Amino acid sequence: MRYGFVIDQDRCIGCHACTVACKEEHQVPVGVFRTWVKYIEKGEFPNTSRHFGVMRCNHCDSAPCTTICPTNALFRRSDGIIDFDNQRCIGCKSCMQACPYDALHIDPQNNTAAKCNFCAHRVEVKLEPACVIVCPTQAIIAGDLDSPESKVSRIVATQKVSVRKPHKGTQPKLYYVGIEGDLLEPARLTRQSAMLWADRAAEPAASAAISSGHSISNPQKSKAPNSAREVYDVAHPAPWGWKIALYLWVKSIAAGVLMVAAILLGLNAGTSGELLNTVGPIIALAALGGTMALLVFDLKRPDRFYYLLLKPNFRSWLVLGAYILMGYGALCLDWLYQGLFADGPSPALRWATAALGAAAACYSAFLFAQAKGRDLWQSPLFLWHLLAQAFVAGSATLLGVSIYMVASPAIIRPTLAILLASLAVSLLMILGEVALPHANEDVRLATRLLVRGKQSGRFWGMVVFAGSLLPIALCTAMLSSGVREGWSWAAAVLALAGLWWFEDLWVKAGQAAPLS
Nearest to 400 by CA among 298, 474, 316, 290: 474
Kindly report the three-state secondary structure assignment for every residue of 13-74.
CCCCHHHHHHHHHHCCCCCCCCEEEEEEEEEECCEEEEEEEEEECCCCCCCHHHHHCCCCCE
CATH topology of domain 242-510: Formate dehydrogenase/DMSO reductase fold (1.20.1630)
Residue 232 class from Cβ within 10 Å (0-12 exposed, 13-18 middle, 19+ buried)? middle
Average pLDDT over residues 100-114: 95
Q: What is the number of other CB atoms lying within 10 angstroms of the CB of residue 346?
A: 13
Summarize pLDDT for 386-436 with one digit per residue, the tens: 999 999 999 999 999 999 988 888 899 999 999 999 999 999 999 998 888
Q: Is 365 helix (H, G, I), strand (E, B) or coil?
A: helix
Q: What is the pLDDT of residue 438?
A: 81
**b vs e for 57-93, b when ≥16 Cβ sit within 10 Å of the residue's Cβ?**
bbbbbebbbbbbbbbbbbbbbebbbbbbeeebbbbbb
Q: Please give the Cα distance from 104 to 83 (Å, whole number).
A: 12
pLDDT in tens, 131-140: 999 999 999 9
pTM of the model: 0.90
Which pLDDT band holds residue 271 (cuts at 50, 70, 90)? low
Give residue 260's pLDDT: 96
Alpha-carbon span 248 to 297, nearest angstrom: 14
Pairing of strands 47-56, 35-44: antiparallel
Q: Lowest mean pLDDT: which of 121-125, 327-331, 408-412, 420-424?
A: 408-412
| CA Rg value for the chain | 27
Question: Could you write out the DSSP letters of every residue in 445-503?
Answer: HHHHHHHTSTTHHIIIIIIIIIIIIHHHHHHHHHHHH---HHHHHHHHHHHHHHHHHHH
Secondary structure (H, E, C), 205-258: HHHHHHHCCCCCECHHHCCCCCCCEEEECCCCCCCCCHHHHHHHHHHHHHHHHH
> For residues 46 and 86, what is the distance between their CA atoms, to the nearest angstrom?
48
* Average pLDDT of the residues of the chain: 90
The full set of domain ranges for the chain reads 3-187, 190-227, 242-510
pLDDT band at 272 (very low <50, low <70, confident <90, very high): low
- Give the sign of the dihedral formed by CA 356, CA 362, CA 368, CA 369: negative
| Domain 3-187, architecture per CATH | 2-Layer Sandwich (3.30)
Integer CA distances (angstroms), 206 to 229, 434, 441, in order = 16, 35, 29
Beta-sheet strands, E only, within 73-131? 74-76, 82-84, 105-107, 112-114
Mean pLDDT of the region 251-272 = 86
226 — pLDDT class (breaks 50, 70, 90)? low
| Parallel, antiparallel or unpaired: strands 35-44 and 229-232 | antiparallel
* Residues forming beta bridges with residue 177, ordered by sequence position: 8, 161
Report the candidate in 108, 103, 109 with the shortest Cα–Cα distance to residue 84: 103
Greatest mean pLDDT among 8-22, 184-198, 209-223: 8-22
pLDDT tens readout for residues 147-194: 999 999 999 999 999 999 999 999 999 999 999 988 998 888 887 666
